[in-house]
A and B are shown apart, each in its own frame.
Chain A
């Protein structure tokens, strides 16, 4: 921005505020990491902010390959794979639908398309508990109950549509309609216009949508625990099984190690795609 001339005296204050904020934001993750490297006796005896006396990797190893989760004692690595198998197609499909929906709602408007959009937005605030029983019934009838693909994936795609449509619609609205009109005059049809005009400039918003969906689906617990069974469950269920034990002693270091593992893919996605994310939003994703 262009106001930096006005803020030069306050530069110190600026960095100070940001650093303070950074500290606040980093604190819980620091606690998590530090705990994962300690041994249990050390956890009981030292403060939560204390650095570990040495880097103990046993908790990490146990979490990955030998912790008892549900009926098996093989750690969380298998569940990791499940989460990937689930998330990647779910993100691709829901993003694709969002893109087409946004395209239609902005450049192929018809009577009621606006109303349709706002009605669809209800999908963003529907509490997931409402969905559990009726969806279970539907999936049972369809014969896909308890499965990762297509069972759980279907649920995530359906309930992601409102969000992905929102992102793309608000983005495509910024693409001048004249471009589309001109293309139609030239004889281009519905799909050609999408692939020739909309898609080439959509990288930013595809990134935004994919990141949002990835985060929401990867971290979702409730749908995961209800709509899959046995070995098909995603990693969030495994984490919960570890952390939510009532009847045995908590192995905090294992819990934290497992939780860090589970957070890694999303973190990596943010790190790598983060620049697209902000750039994506910059390019008009959130403008009207």
Chain B
């Protein structure tokens, strides 16, 4: 869809810019301004409170010398990647299933969607119980007559991060489902009918016609899941406390602990910046693709 050149009619155009200006100012000040402040903070010797003592890149040096930070970065990759991929995948899958004229579609939608309504603390605690080997799923399945069934990921430093994925996917995939369902329902029926008349199989139709037209839907879903991944601080704290040890730390937890608990605000600020830069790098290709599509 392309726009013909708009005539830039004086007063209205000024009105338009005026209307946009509060958001513009808010973004400049409260988003970019604060980010700049964080950049400055990361270059200072800030400990329990912000300080103005410039020390160059020393905080970054300390940051990347910390095994806890590396663990956090790796976890962001594992958790972020799996979470985004699986919740979009499950969301899409559920949407396709629900799109098949199901009886009780509304009921299923609510069941899949309600986890979004729960706060992080609640989700974390409920899942912590289910995942606890002592009385959660492991114990329950064993009581059903499978004494060797093991599911103690949450206590295992190597596997605990995957339990976070489970809880986070549970919370968000219903919302992804709703988004994809809408996208599916918006696909032009004419194109699909034409393909059916041409004799294409269901799979082919999905592959060649339906999924590609979901590109804009994917974009929104991606932006939202990336944002939610970054915000998953509360869920992880409630579920594992960042442990065992620090094995489920992610950058947002690292930043919070170092800035506010350990009195290492400069290092905390550096970690926040690195996390932001990584997310931006990840997002840029998708933004570019979307802007191309808009043109």
Q: Please report A residues at the B interface, Cβ cutoff 8 Å.
A: 1-4, 6-7, 14-15, 17-18, 21-22, 24-29, 31-32, 47-49, 97, 100-101, 104-105, 108-110, 113-114, 116, 118-131, 133-135, 158-159, 161-163, 165-167, 170, 173, 177, 181, 184, 189-191, 215, 218-219, 221-222, 236, 239-240, 243-244, 255, 259, 262-263, 266-267, 269-271, 274-275, 277-278, 280-288
Contact = CB atoms under 8 A, between A and B. Distances in A.
B291 interface: yes
A181 to B, nearest CB: 8
Interface in B89-104: 94, 97-102
Q: What is the interface of chain B mostly: helix, strand, loop, or mixed?
A: helix
Contact of B123 (A28, A173, A240, A270): A28
B78 interface: no
A57 B275 CA distance: 46
B15 A191 contact: yes
Interface residues of B, number: 114
B16 A108 contact: yes
Interface of B: 1, 3-4, 6-9, 11-13, 15-17, 19-20, 22-24, 26-27, 30-35, 37-38, 50, 94, 97-102, 106, 108-123, 125-127, 129-130, 135-136, 139-140, 143, 170, 174, 178-179, 181-186, 189, 192-193, 196, 201-202, 205, 215-217, 219-221, 223-224, 226-227, 230-231, 233-234, 238, 251-252, 255-256, 259-260, 268-269, 272, 275-276, 279-280, 283, 287, 290-291, 293-294
Among A114, A127, A222, A239, which residue has the most Cβ atoms of chain B within 10 A?
Answer: A127
A78 B33 CA distance: 36
Nearest to B220: A286
Nearest to B41: A133
B178 A277 contact: yes
A271 B220 contact: no
A125 B224 CA distance: 9
